[in-house]
Structure 1
Amino acid sequence: MARTTRRRAAWRDIAFALVDYQHDGRTLVRFEHSPHSPEGRRRLARYHSDAGSGSTLGAGAPRWWTRLDSRSIKARNKTVLARWLRLQDYDPVFQDHHFRNGQWEWW
């Protein structure tokens, strides 16, 4: 999705980007930053950037999650190879790419 389209559709999420919660010992205190203050401008710039913050889902899945997905494909291929070596009439079908990518399964 283009950044311009995301900015156009994100007008209702700007209030979400300007809100901060802090714990004061017993309760959560809500702080609303002004969009014109330095902190508010920094939060809006971070929200509209391509750095993966806000509700844009621009960040990828963690590396440990994608490694788990890759390891499961490798394990399936090793099982198919072992079955092919053990059985004479077995027709091996190896999975050489990600049909279900770990990046999409994370969300």
Structure 2
Amino acid sequence: MYKKHIFKYYENRKIYNTETKKLSNYCEILQSLKDGNNVQVIYNKTGDDITHHILFQILISEMKHSPEYVVKIFKILLLGDEKNLKKIQKAIDEIILENESKTL
């Protein structure tokens, strides 16, 4: 069964996994998403949900290794209709698979 993993983000840019009670990083958040879990990132100082900000940073980080996908995803985002969300997911999956094959 999939879980909701909650991470706390601190001013010093450290990320704390509330489930494991250990420091975490972007790779662990990404792995949690790949495992099908929901994630939430809370800014510890204010209690604000900054999940969207952190996920965007992870996406940008993944795209550094595959710049050709940046333009592709940006165009899909600009078109903005609902069927394009599947195209975005496919493009992101391609980026992740390509990056994983580069690290093997």
More strand by share: 2
Please tell me the TM-score bracket, short chain as reference.
under 0.3
TM-score w.r.t. length of structure 2: 0.25
Structure 1 or 2, whichever has the larger Rg, is 1
